[in-house]
Amino acid sequence: MSVALQLGIIVGYLLLALAVGLVAYRTTDRTAEDFYLASRSVGTVVLLFTTFATLLSAFTFFAGPNIAYREGPEWVLVMGLMDGIVFAILWYVVGYKQWLLGRRYEYVTLGEMLGDRFGSRRLRGLVAGISLLWLFPYVMLQQVGAGTALQALTDGAVPYAVGAGLITAFMILYVVVAGFRGIAWTDTLQGAFMLVTTWIALAWVLAAVGGPGAATAALEAEAADHLALGGDFYTVQWMLSTAITIGFGVAMFPQVNQRFFAAGSEAVLKRSFALWPLLCVLLFVPSFLLGAWARGLDVAIAEGENVLPAVLAEYTPVWFAALVIAGAMAAMMSSSDSMLLSGSSYFTRDLYRPFVEGSVSERREDLLARLGVVGFATAAFVGSLVQPATLFELGDAAFSGFAQLALPVLVALYWRRTTRAGITAGILASQAFYLSSLFTAVVPSAYGGWTAGLVGMGLGLVVTVGVSAVTTPAADERRAIYFDGLGAD
């Protein structure tokens, strides 16, 4: 009964999304700028929720509450700092500046913006290449998550490969048809839906167990140290390292960074900026508290099973649990949709066009963009068949990998004397450092409790500034374009 119901809800959701996508398709111009950015016309609610929904990957509903269950609810603080404060500040510092530049010079990607300023096709390709290097495993991770979830949901009736394949096929269809506008619309519906259902879930569970006081008392009896702030797992260094690297990493994630170009007006950016902290509290507090409280409640959680679905199954009706799980799976998919679209734009605009086929018509670029989506998704699907790894490890590596780009980009945006040699060296040095810390024993992964991701960011900053200071700008750099004549109107 519950399996059929869950599948029914998931299929129903997919059909609804497809309907939204078709409406979006009808209002779409056949140009790459419209496909990628909805012609820079997005309003406050849609921009806020589409950015938010792309952040809500499998992590918020599965991995995050699992950690809160095992280690305590301090994750709320880490998420609040990274997404509600650090990212909100970057929303202004990086986002508003990028929006102004994107509107004036018609940039669609980060690589394009940097390549234009530094007069370097190679820098443009480098930024896109590095971004794809981190994006690809992250998309794959979402497919692994979806395949695993479908398999678990159906008790193996839908095998992992079939589940991941079906989801991939649907995503390709959806992204190719709907483009950015359709994705943003479904993200908005879905973000609002998840926010509401998470609170209903919390209310339902609390009503069943006798309120927050009783739930916390049960947690105290089971694991008293979870209530105290900090512990062996949540050290000061670890919390700060995680919040800072992920916060900066988010701003450089292609699907988030590209949204900086998509806002319809300055007012849209202003309004969304002030709403970030509130949205983060509204979502992360209930979902992580549910995970943390589950520890003290009488919920049997098997090894490797996700906490939130088990809690819902125990305390809420079958249809409601199915609705939330379907929503969480949809969240995974919406993250992937946006990533596919951005990945494809980085590939076609910053790698294919500059290096393979120079001048293309708008119609042809639009076609290339859609083909790019198919190629990227298929490759990630193949990856998901051969290379499974745990959600958290891969996800964390991707965020820290993107974080390495943030400080060289910030220096370039705000310091006129940044040179092409400086930013290139800064990006290469920090990437080399962080990749080495992941894959070799030569570079340690922790420094007195601080992570290699954070240390790598510092290295990128020092190298960018240092090399810029000792080199002279190349003749074709356009040093003034990030500074002169910038204004909203």
Partner 1 sequence: MARLVLWGWIVVAIGLCALTVPWFLWGDATVVAGIPLWLWWHVGWMGLAALVFRLFARRAWGLGIESGEGSSDGSTPPNAGVDPGGERR
Q: Which residues lie near partner 1 (CB under 8 A)?
A: 73, 76-78, 80-81, 84-86, 88-89, 92-93, 96-97, 100, 104-106, 116, 211-216, 220, 224-225, 227-230, 236, 239, 266, 270-271, 273-278, 280-281, 285, 289, 414, 416, 478-481, 483-489
Computed from CA positions of residues 114, 345, 131, 239, in that sequence, does the dihedral angle turn out positive or negative?
A: positive
In the complex, least distance from residue 476 CB atom to partner 1, rounded to whole angstroms: 12
Q: Are 286 and 80 in contact (CB under 8 A)?
A: no
Q: Which is nearer to partner 1, 93 or 360 (CB)?
A: 93
Place of tokens 């370097």: 120
- CB closer to partner 1, 19 vs 278: 278
CA distances from 238 to 231, 233, 246, 400, 448 (A): 11, 8, 12, 13, 10
CB of 101 to partner 1, least distance (A): 10
Type of residue at 131: S
Q: Which is nearer to partner 1, 109 or 338 (CB)?
A: 109
What is the nearest approach in angstroms of partner 1 to the Cβ of residue 44? 12
Q: Quick check: 311 and 290 in contact, CB under 8 A?
A: yes
Helix (H, G, I), strand (E, B), or coil: what is residue 263?
strand
Taking a C-beta distance cutoff of 8 angstroms, is the pair 347, 335 a contact?
A: no
Closest approach, Cβ 417 to partner 1, in A, equals 8
Query: Of 304 and 448, which has the nearer Cβ to partner 1?
Result: 448
Q: Nearest distance from residue 415's CB to partner 1, in Å?
A: 10
User: Smallest distance from the beta carbon of 369 to partner 1, in angstroms?
Assistant: 20
Distance, in Å, from the CA atom of 85 to the CA atom of 159, rounded to the nearest integer, reads: 41
Which of 410, 407, 392, 413 lies closest to 454 in space, CA to CA? 407
Q: Cβ neighbours of residue 488 under 8 Å, at least 6 residues apart?
A: 100, 266
Radius of gyration of the chain (CA): 22
One-letter amino acid for residue 75 of the chain: W
**Tokens of residue 1, six digits:** 């009964």
Q: Nearest 5°: CA angle at 311, between 287 and 60?
A: 30
Q: Between 23 and 77, whose beta carbon lies closer to partner 1?
A: 77
CB of 210 to partner 1, least distance (A): 10
Query: Whole-number minimum distance, CB 191 to partner 1, in Å?
Result: 18
Toward partner 1, which CB reaches closer, 213 or 317?
213
State the minimum distance, in angstroms, from the CB of residue 419 to partner 1: 15
CB nearer to partner 1: pick between 329 and 413: 413
Kindly state the tokens that stand for 464.
Answer: 């960018």
Smallest gap from Cβ 487 to partner 1, in A, equals 4
User: Which residue do the tokens 């409406």 mark?
Assistant: 23
Cβ closest to partner 1, residue 81 vs residue 397: 81
Closest to partner 1 by CB, 303 or 484: 484
230 backbone φψ class: left, alpha, beta (φ>0; ψ -120 to 50): left
Asked if residues 453 and 400 have their Cβ atoms less than 8 Å apart, the reply is: yes
When the beta carbons of 224 and 382 are compared against partner 1, the nearer one is 224
Nearer to partner 1, 87 or 434 (CB): 87
Dihedral of alpha carbons 75, 78, 79, 81, sign: positive
Shortest separation between residue 246's beta carbon and partner 1, angstroms: 14
Residue 339 token pair: 């990533």
**Which residues are 413's β-sheet partners?**
none
CA distance 371 to 472: 40
Contact 266, 102 (CB under 8 A): no
